[in-house]
Amino acid sequence: MTLTAFIVFTLAAIGTYLIRISGIVLLGGDRDLPPRVRKALSLVAPAAMAAIVANSLFLDAGEWRAFGAWHLAAIVAVAVALWKRSMGWTLSLGALSFAALLLAGL
Amino acid sequence: MAPEQWADLWTGTRAIAPLMPGAVVFGMAFGALVQVVGLPGWLAPYASSTVTAGASQIAIVEALRQGAPAIIAIVTALVINARLALYSAALAPIFAPFPLRWRLALAYLMTDQSAAVSSFEAERWPDPVRRRWFILGVSGPFVGVWILGTAAGVVLGPVIPESWQIGFIVPLMFIAVLVPGLRAWPSVAAAGISVAVVLALKDLPYGLNVLAGALTGFALGSLVPERPRRPRGEVPPQAVPEAGDP
């Protein structure tokens, strides 16, 4: 698996670098993206991140995660994120509530 | 290098400094995850210094853990990283006056956070030479602490007790990056559809449910109109969600 992982990371790195230079090299500053393309690209991040959240929060190795500290702390984090609109507050209060829930035995 | 260039570099680093602790913790979680899965520790800093995009790196490890074929792991990572094309387009006019080697190097160091800070601050740097040093200061050290955090996670990973369930940092990190920027309807729809698809298809092998969720959310979200009818007088939402990742 080590060799496979090495190859996967290397090819993903090359592909990701090509994505990173795409606009800088192709657009060169005087051309702009069509609005439809721009809007579609702006949705990649929310869709991809929501997929990772759902997969890591609600599932555990493909099975439903038993309800507990993970879900409750995630609710706290989402509430703080909507309230403060701040990454730092969300991270720290989410982590704090998770630690408190673990200590409480959940 | 002239003193002024050092000063511009340092100004850039200070501009992104508030976001560095998050990158360190996220890097540590990735480093620890690589070890938990049973991969050799050196792969973690290798991935962080070559792929340099944390969400996709975690997706790769999860796919490999489920025994996915290499091609699925790579495609999943590239779909997740497609958002970087948007930053690349946004930075193109800002990078345009730089020599080619600077553009290629700064593109390598581009992350969600540094792209956001660079494009936000660039208009305050009309001189292209000073601007490129400023952006190097924004991008370079940030990637540096991300790699160091990853290495620290590899070292500390085995010491951290299982009962701490450090894996919670993965959903927490992405909630922290995703939710504060969720305002416009298309991005809310993209996120919601993505979650529903990931859970509905949970029995797909190789982590394909993540790929399916991201693609469906992105495709259907594009069909949602930018501004739904709203009561008069209400302030329209901020435009693009601000992402944050390695």
Q: What residues 53-72 of chain A have any CB closer than 8 A to a CB of chain B?
A: 53-59, 61-62, 64, 69-70
What's the distance, Cα to Cα, between the start and end of chain B in Å? 29
Q: Is residue A2 part of a domain?
A: yes
Tell me, what's the pLDDT at B236? 43
**Which ipTM was obtained for this model?**
0.88
Least CB-CB distance to A52: which of B55, B167, B216?
B55
- Percent of residues, chain A, with pLDDT higher than 90: 58
CA A31 to chain centroid, in Å, comes to: 30
Q: Is residue A13 part of a domain?
A: yes
Per-domain residue ranges of chain B: 3-163, 182-228
- The C-alpha atoms of residue A101 and residue B231 are separated, in whole angstroms, by 41
CB-based contact A45:B243 (threshold 8 Å): yes
Q: Is residue A63 part of a domain?
A: no
Angle at which helix A44-57 crosses helix B208-221, to 10 degrees, equals 140
Least CB-CB distance to A1: which of B39, B46, B89?
B39
- The C-alpha atoms of residue B18 and residue A37 are separated, in whole angstroms, by 31
- What's the gap in Å between the CA of A67 and the closest CA on chain B? 14
Are A44 and B80 a contacting pair at CB < 8 A? yes
Residue count of chain B, please give it: 246
Tell me, what's the pLDDT at B233? 46
Tell me, what's the pLDDT at B230? 53
Contacts of A30 in chain B (CB under 8 A): 93, 96
**CB pairs < 8 Å spanning A and B:** 301
Tell me, what's the pLDDT at A28? 66
Tell me, what's the pLDDT at B206? 82
Tell me, what's the pLDDT at B53? 94
**Assigned token pair, A100:** 């408190």
Tell me, what's the pLDDT at B89? 87
- What's the gap in Å between the CA of B166 and the closest CA on chain A? 10
Question: Would you give per-residue pLDDT tens digits along chain B (246 residues)?
Answer: 688 999 999 999 998 887 888 788 889 889 988 988 889 999 999 999 999 999 899 889 988 988 889 999 999 999 989 889 888 988 898 999 999 999 999 999 999 889 988 888 888 999 999 999 999 999 999 999 999 999 999 998 888 787 888 788 889 888 988 898 888 899 999 999 999 999 999 999 888 898 899 999 989 998 998 775 555 544 444 433 444 455
Are A88 and B22 a contacting pair at CB < 8 A? yes
- The C-alpha atoms of residue B170 and residue B168 are separated, in whole angstroms, by 5
- Name the domain count of chain A: 1
- The C-alpha atoms of residue A67 and residue A75 are separated, in whole angstroms, by 12
- The C-alpha atoms of residue B133 and residue A3 are separated, in whole angstroms, by 38
A15 residue type, one letter: G
Output the CA torsion B141→B146→B152→B157 (10° steps).
Answer: 170
pLDDT in tens, A27-74: 765 667 788 877 887 888 889 889 989 999 999 878 999 999 999 999
Are A77 and B172 a contacting pair at CB < 8 A? yes
CB-based contact B199:B211 (threshold 8 Å): no
- Which residue from B minimizes the CA distance to A15? B78
Tell me, what's the pLDDT at B240? 38
Are B190 and A46 a contacting pair at CB < 8 A? yes
Q: CB neighbours of B2 closer than 8 A, spacing ≥ 6?
A: none
B147 lies within 8 A of chain A by CB: no
